Amino acid sequence: MSRAGCGHGLMVGLVRLCMCNGGVGNVIRASVPKLELDSAFEQKNEIAKAVEQELEKAMSAYGFEIVQTLIVDIEPDERVKRAMNEISAVKTAARMRLAANEKAEADKILQIKRAEGDAESKYLSRLGIARQRRAIVDGLRESVLAFSVNVPGTTSKDVMDMVLVTQYFDTMKEIGASSKSTSVFIPHGPGAVKDIALQIREGLLQANVTQQN
């Protein structure tokens, strides 16, 4: 074919390609309205394939082969763009609210667990103190009974006073022997021993009553 013939064929092909724009538009109009906007962006390759097939049918008779068609981008109407931006902003705000709610719920659970742990710790501490006091009371009771049996004529009060005063002096001895002790008994003196014994006895009796209840 001469150069002139080639040029004529090319011109005819270009004219025919321009005439195919209507067919391409029909393909796009037939495909895009069936899709949601997000799906249209996702299925650009499928739309381009349909356009390629339409062009192939129209141009093959003129010796042209359509190798590939590309849809570079989809440009929605400005109103659609604004609507998309508003939807995106709403979704972002919803995600932020959800994240804030989840964080608040996590903080709430953490505070509840911390409070439960603190309550359990205090309960175990009180339980340990109660058992310690019960053991002290049981030990004193056994001491009083044993002393009353071995020393006739003594009352339980006499034995308790003697035991408490002995413990008091033992405690004072330990405090005085420690160089790092910061404990101070007020009032302190021989005349205060009776009051201290009375206070200790009343405290032990109250603890015993509390445990029985």
Per-residue pLDDT tens over the stretch 41-82:
777 888 888 878 877 777 777 777 777 777 777 777 788 778
Residues 131 and 192 in one domain: yes
Residues 128 and 207 in one domain: yes
Q: Which domain holds residue 164?
A: 124-212
Residues 164, 144 contacting (CB under 8 angstroms): no
29 found inside a domain: yes
Burial of 59 (0-12, 13-18, 19+ CB in 10 A): middle
Residues 134 and 68 in one domain: no
Residues 6+ apart with CB under 8 A from 207: 130, 133, 134, 137
Residues 139 and 207 in one domain: yes
Cα distance between residue 20 and residue 176, in whole Å: 111
Residues 69, 52 contacting (CB under 8 angstroms): yes
Residues 20, 58 contacting (CB under 8 angstroms): yes
197 found inside a domain: yes
28 found inside a domain: yes
Q: Looking at the 3D structure of the chain, how many domains does it have? A: 2
Choose one of 32, 56, 73: the last residue of a domain.
Answer: 73
Kindly report, residue by residue over 122-171, the tens digit of the pLDDT.
888 888 888 887 887 777 777 777 777 777 777 777 777 777 777 777 77
198 found inside a domain: yes
How long is the chain? Answer: 213
DSSP 39-63: HHHHTHHHHHHHHHHHHHHHHGGGT
pTM (2 decimals)?
Answer: 0.35
41 found inside a domain: yes
